[in-house]
Amino acid sequence: MRVLKLKELEERIPKLFGIPSGVPGLDDLFFTFTMEEEGYRKVPLKGLPSASVVHLTGVPDTGKTLMAEQFALTQAARQFATLFVTVEVPAPFLAQGLRQRAQALRLAWEEIEDKVFLLELVRLPEVRENIGELCHHLTQIIRDHNIKACVIDSITGLYEGKETAARTIVRRLYEVMKEHYQTAIFISQKRSSHEEISAEAAGGYGVSHILDCTLVLTKMVVSRSTSSFYGKEPGDIVRTVRIDGCRVCGHDPRVHLLEIEETGIVRVGPALSAKAAELRTGR
């Protein structure tokens, strides 16, 4: 077993920069800092932390797939080859969603269609259930097509019926991503019985501890008592997002509103605490 001096790693320390997520408002929630004489200064990262694996988790209909689509399309539009691993939705249906999202984001489809690679595992239970084989395929695809960004929707579908193996499976996938410096989004599905926005809520099974950063999405129905706070009618839906830890860089820890527009575009809104302060001061 070889032990390394920090100095030996100097050449291999990856540069940290922002990768535009394609989700308006999300990029502003990550930052680094510089040290000045008068103290430290926050420097917005303007994107997801580069080469990090982001865990996106939430109950059904919270906007996880939409956000991942926006991320994949945005990387493709920047001319970076992107792999979308679809575990639940057949590839043609995913492509349909991607096309609608590209239209809504006003991205040129001709510039994108060659850059997004879809790996469909829907009808391949033997690959889904063999993590060694799946990692081998992923490695090949990443190398063959010079992939820079990955989405897996969802990792939950890879440990169905064998939840005790969840951490081992996710760790193997994480290692492939790290080895190839991928900026990745792993989606996991949360049961509504899991506590709402805690770390345990984040996909359960201790998956969050392995990945670099976790975004927890929630959804609730507005009640009579909360309707004036949200500026919505009772019975309307409110969605939120919170960064539930990020080991790569600084981040906004607050719960933010999350809007899904009619065109299916997800955007991050103001922090709930900022909204409450606004109401208090009557602005």
Residue nearer to ligand ATP on the CB measure, 22 or 250: 22
- Return the one option of Mg ion, ligand ATP, none that residue 264 interacts with (CB less than 5 to 8 A, by type): ligand ATP
DSSP the chain: -----GGGGGGGPPPP-EE--SSTTTGGGEEEEEEETTEEEEEE--SEETT-EEEEEESTTSSHHHHHHHHHHHHHHTT--EEEEESSS-HHHHHHHHHHHHHHTT--HHHHTTTEEEEE-TT-HHHHT-HHHHHHHHHHHHHHTT--EEEEETSGGGSTT-GGGHHHHHHHHHHHHHHTT-EEEEEEE--TTS-SSSTTTTTSTTGGGTSSEEEEEEEEE--TTTHHHHTS-TT-EEEEEEEEEESSSEE--S-EEEEE-TTS-EEEEEEHHHHHHHHHHT-
Residue nearer to Mg ion on the CB measure, 149 or 271: 149
| Per-residue contact flags (x/-) with ligand ATP for residues 166 to 195, judged by CB under 6 A | -----------------------x------
- Return the one option of Mg ion, ligand ATP, none that residue 160 interacts with (CB less than 5 to 8 A, by type): none
Query: By CB under 5 A, is residue 75 in contact with Mg ion?
Result: no
Residue nearer to ligand ATP on the CB measure, 113 or 261: 261
* Interface region with ligand ATP, contact rule CB under 6 A, candidates 19-27, 34-42, 114-122, 256-264: 256-264
Residue nearer to ligand ATP on the CB measure, 50 or 188: 188
User: Which residues contribute to the site for ligand ATP (CB under 6 A)?
Assistant: 58, 60-66, 189, 260, 262-264
User: Which residues contribute to the site for Mg ion (CB under 5 A)?
Assistant: 65
